[in-house]
Amino acid sequence: MLENRWLRWLAYFIVWTFVGLFFASQTYLGYKYSNGDPHLGLILKFVLSDWYIWALLAPGIIWLARNLALDREHRARNLGIHLLASVAATMVHWSLNNLCRHYVLGFSGSISLAYAFHSSIVTYWILAGATWGYDYYVRYRQGELRAAQLSVQLAQAQLQALRTQLHPHFLFNTLNAISALVHRDPEAADRMVARLSDLLRLTIEGIGVQEVPLAKEIDFLKRYLEIEQTRFADRLTVDMQIEPETLAASTPYLILQPLVENAIRHGIAPRSQPGRVVIRAHRDDGLLILQVSDNGAGLAPGLAAPAREGVGLSSTRARLEKLYGEEQHFEMKNGPSGGFVVTLTFPFQFASVTDGDA
């Protein structure tokens, strides 16, 4: 602590020394190029002593500027006080400068007040103005930081709210399926209860987590698909085409499950014949591309893609916008050979250790 204080005072002294040397060089060059006879030693003594006195007065001026800012409410009063203070500082500086010349530097001559008055007034207001400017900049940056923190907190709260919209919806559908199977196929219903227990455990463990490695997302999805394949039996085939390098990519938690659920509900469930859901993941030029497609009927002619956008897809779209802004892309359309395709594109980033703990 003491060492830091001495370092600050040393830096303060060096700054004022540089200011004094700057003006000393100006004075020296002024004498030299006006056919005068400059004495560098004398110039350094006079100018440096002048600025070292300002260095002694500056903390008081800075304190006064911070405590008597020119805010709207007290501007006239504080301005008047600073006018008087600038005159007082000028008188103090002039007196100390002459005392230093007489008793420290050993010169008999004195500086006249008329000569020093205007430059001293200007110096006072430069110090006060610089203090106000610096304090305004600090407050502005602190305001920016607070606004950014509030924005992050708001975004996290909104993302959590969007995720909680999915959980009751998914739970309702699963319990409905168990209820339908419990009398017809008790063993299948028992398997679904076990898988649902696993999913609820994973979901609870992931509360507050926004992103996980894609491998964890796929693991969660496989458990969900076990439930759906028990429900649909041989009517549902799932094909996962996941490039190995994407498994370590950071992915929004529970981003694929609503897409797959949508594909099963709209593409597989309405059909009596077997259906197929394909889940793809690959990397392309710094982007992670996730795609879920089905071989169902797709959208009827004349209907736009948003007609199939329920709670799950709308929440997925909103989460991507909150997390990645304009860097993400969400696309829904009929597949080239039938069915429906949902594609998510967002920046490829490797998951952190904390993401892996989800």
245 and 122 within one domain = no
Of 98, 13, 95, 83, the closest CA to residue 55 belongs to 13
205 and 114 within one domain = no
HSE (side-chain half, CA atoms, 13 Å) at 146: 6
Record the tokens describing residue 61, joined without a space: 């001026």
pLDDT band per the 50, 70, 90 thresholds, residue 303 = low
| Residue 148 pLDDT | 73
In a domain, 162, yes or no: no
User: Domain range spanning residue 265?
Assistant: 196-215+231-356
Burial class from Cβ neighbours inside 10 Å (0-12, 13-18, 19+) for residue 2 reads exposed
- Mean pLDDT over each residue of the chain, to the nearest integer: 82
**What is the 8-class DSSP label of residue 291?**
E
What are the pLDDT digits (tens) for 17-48? 898 888 888 878 877 777 667 677 878 888 88
Is 314 a residue whose pLDDT tops 60? yes
pTM: 0.54
| Residue 194 pLDDT | 84
| Residue 249 pLDDT | 95
What are the two backbone dihedrals, phi and then psi, of residue 72, each rounded to the nearest 5 degrees? -65, -35
Reduce the DSSP state of residue 350 to 3 states and report it: strand
| Residue 281 pLDDT | 96
Domain end call among 145, 166, 181: 145
d(CA 162, CA 156) in angstroms, rounded, equals 10
Residue type at 114? A
Among the residue ranges 25-29, 75-79, 120-124, the one predicted with the least confidence is 25-29
d(CA 23, CA 135) in angstroms, rounded, equals 26
Record the tokens describing residue 125, joined without a space: 């207001």
94-123 mean pLDDT: 85
| Residue 153 pLDDT | 57
Domain end call among 103, 129, 145: 145
Is 164 a residue whose pLDDT tops 80? no
| Residue 358 pLDDT | 43
Which range has the top average pLDDT, 169-173, 209-213, 302-306, 337-341?
Answer: 337-341
CB 253 within 8 A of CB 163: yes
246 and 352 within one domain = yes
d(CA 335, CA 220) in angstroms, rounded, equals 26
139 and 236 within one domain = no
Taking the mean position of all CA atoms in its chain, how far away is CA 283?
Answer: 25
Question: Which residues are CB-contacts of 258 (< 8 A; sequence separation ≥ 6)?
Answer: 166, 170, 311, 312, 313, 315, 316
CATH number of the domain to which 322 belongs: 3.30.565.10
Of 98, 95, 91, 100, the closest CA to residue 120 belongs to 91
CB 213 within 8 A of CB 244: no
Is 157 a residue whose pLDDT tops 60? no
Bridge partners for 250 per DSSP: 213
127 and 24 within one domain = yes
In a domain, 185, yes or no: no
202 and 138 within one domain = no
What are the pLDDT digits (tens) for 172-181? 777 887 887 7
